[in-house]
Structures are given as C-alpha cells and as structure tokens.
Amino acid sequence: MPDLKPRKTLFNPELRRRGIYVLPNLFTTAALFCGFFAIVQAMKGSFEQAAIAIFVAMILDGLDGRVARMTRTQSAFGAEYDSLSDMVSFGVAPALVTYAWALKDMGRLGWIAAFIYCVGAALRLARFNTTLEVVDRRYFQGLPSPAAAALVTGFLWVMIDKDISPIDVRWLACGLIIFAGISMVNTIRFYSFKDLNLRRSVPFIFIVAIALGFAVISYDTPVALFGLFVAYSLSGYAMALQPLLRRRLPADEP
C-alpha cells in the first residue's frame, strides 16, 4: 500500500527559510562592528578609540532590544545574534584591549586575568539565556556584561585621559578586570531598570537631575562614566550586605 503521508520537500512551507528582521539586527551588527573595531584599534595602539568604541557598542546594544519590542520584530535569531555580538563587544574586546594596554608585560598573570574576564562574560551570557524566563526581570543575576565592559574600559579611558602610564596602574587594572569577571558569574543581584515606566509622569526635580547629569558627563566624560559604572558595580554588593548588617545591628529597646 503506498505511503499517503506528505513528504517534507524544499517546497514544504514548514521548511521554508524564515526571514530576518532588518532593523533590530542592524543595531546588533553595528554593536558587533564596534567591538571588532575596538580590537583593531588596540592592535594599532589607539586605546582611547578602542574604549570609546566599546561604550558606543553598549549604547547600540541597549537600543536593539528596545527597537525590536517597539516594532514587534523579536525573533529567536535576533536573541542568539545579540548574545554572540555581546560576547565579542563586551567579552573578548575589553579583555584584549586591557591586555594589550596594561597586562601584556605582566607575563602569565596578565593573560590569565584577561581570560578570567573573558570566560566570565561567556558564562554570564550563557546563564542569562538559559534563565531568562525564570528570573525576576527587575534584577540581573550577576553584573551585566555591558556594565562590566564599561567598568574595565572606563578605567582605561580615564587613565589615558589623565596621561597616567599603564605601567603605574597595571596591578590595579589586573585586579579590576578580575573583579569584573568574577562579578559577572556570581549570584549577587543588580538592578536592571527594566521596570521603569518612561510614560509615567515624574516630579520636576527629576528632569533637573537629568539635565545636571548631562552637564557632569559633558564636563569630564571619562571620569563621569567610570564613576557611574563603579557605583553600579558596587550597588549589587551593597544590596547583598544590607540583610547581614541588619542582623548584626542590635534591636532597639522599648
């Protein structure tokens, strides 16, 4: 008796190649380009340009997801592509840029420190992809890789801007990149800002604070950005220590 089941052929709609949304993936590609550009600039010795490129990649990475949600063009391909782009821009690029700038003269310890950061970013992204549906969206589990990249390259940018030799701060750079790598894989929670509603009305002082923030960043951009991400990188640890401090404080007597 002949087989009456429909065979899957190239003309079967189930096997047709799915289209790729251009707009959100355009931002992702631009972020990937910035990460690659940062590595090329580090190879040429233009470390300030490399640091700026990583910060631009961070801005583009924040836009691609929002553009996809606003235009309803989310896709599994876009999510995977974004993760791979993040690995290059916020994992490989900061590690190689920092290694070429300050860690290459430290021998084995230098490249081990850079590798700790790189593998921390890979593990952070893999854990994020596998726990996306079960974690509290208000918090990140571990330091986000863009924030870790901004912390590491922000330090580099400040040192270059202030004409401080990498030889004088190489141990500090080594400790900072290891701290960033470990912070990405720990279980400490960091606020994600995903529950902020920009359509909600805010007090007038909030707008004034935003204007002052832009003024501070414009006055000394490297220091302002580095200070911002230092504060954010320590905020998770501060929140984790609060319950411990409350337990040790003596109870108020009636």
For residue 250, pLDDT over 70 is answered with no
Residue 180 included in any domain: yes
What token pair was written down for 217?
């960043």
More confident residue, 113 or 193: 113
| Cβ partners under 8 Å of residue 138, min gap 6 | 191, 192, 194, 195
Bigger pLDDT: 249 vs 98: 98
d(CA 145, CA 31): 13
Name which residue leads in pLDDT, 214 or 178. 178
**Do 227 and 161 contact (CB within 8 A), yes or no?**
no
Of residues 133 and 138, the one with the higher pLDDT is: 138
pLDDT value for 202: 64
**Which H or E element spans position 189?**
strand 189-191
Instruction: Look up the domain containing 173 and give its range.
Output: 19-235
The answer to whether 212 and 254 are in contact (CB under 8 A) is no
Tell me, yes or no, whether 64 lies in a domain: yes
Find the CATH number of the domain harbouring 133.
1.20.120.1760
Q: What is the pTM of this model?
A: 0.84
pLDDT digit string (tens) for 13-69?
443 455 667 778 899 999 999 999 999 999 999 999 999 999 999 999 988 877 777
Identify whether the C-beta of residue 47 lies closer than 8 Å to the C-beta of residue 82. no
pLDDT at 77: 85
pLDDT tens per residue, range 89-106: 999 999 999 999 999 999
pLDDT at residue 254, as a whole number: 45
> Is the pLDDT reported for residue 147 higher than 90?
yes
Q: What angle is formed at CA 221 by the lines to CA 137 and CA 121, rounded to 5 degrees?
A: 40
Q: What's CA 223's distance to the chain center, in Å?
A: 18
pLDDT tens profile 114-123: 999 999 999 9
With 50 as the cut, is the pLDDT of residue 222 above it? Answer: yes
Dist CA 47 CA 156 (whole Å): 8
| CB within 8 Å of 131: residues ≥ 6 apart | 141
| pLDDT at residue 198, rounded to an integer | 61
Give the H/E segment covering residue 128. Answer: helix 108-130
**Section 61-90 average pLDDT:** 86
**For the stretch 57-76, what's the b/e string if a residue is b when 16 or more beta carbons lie within 10 angstroms of its beta carbon?**
bbebbebbbebbeeeeeeee
Where residue 249 falls among pLDDT bands split at 50, 70, 90?
Answer: low
pLDDT band, very low/low/confident/very high, at 1 (cuts 50, 70, 90): very low
Listed as own residue / partner, the contacts of 67-73 with beta carbons closer than 8 Å and 24 or more positions apart are 67/23, 67/24, 67/27, 68/21, 68/23, 68/24, 71/21, 71/23, 71/24, 73/21, 73/23, 73/24
pLDDT at 120 (0 to 100): 96
Residue 3 in domain? no
Domain annotation covers residue 7? no
Q: Is residue 66 part of a domain?
A: yes
Q: Is residue 6 part of a domain?
A: no
**Beta strands per DSSP E along 89-165:** 139-141
**Considering the domain boundaries, does residue 150 fall inside one?**
yes
Residue 210: predicted pLDDT:
80
Q: Which of 80-84, 99-103, 131-135 ranks highest by mean pLDDT?
A: 99-103
* For range 236-251, the mean pLDDT: 77
pLDDT of residue 73: 78
Task: Count up the domains in the chain and report the number.
Answer: 1
Within a domain: 84: yes
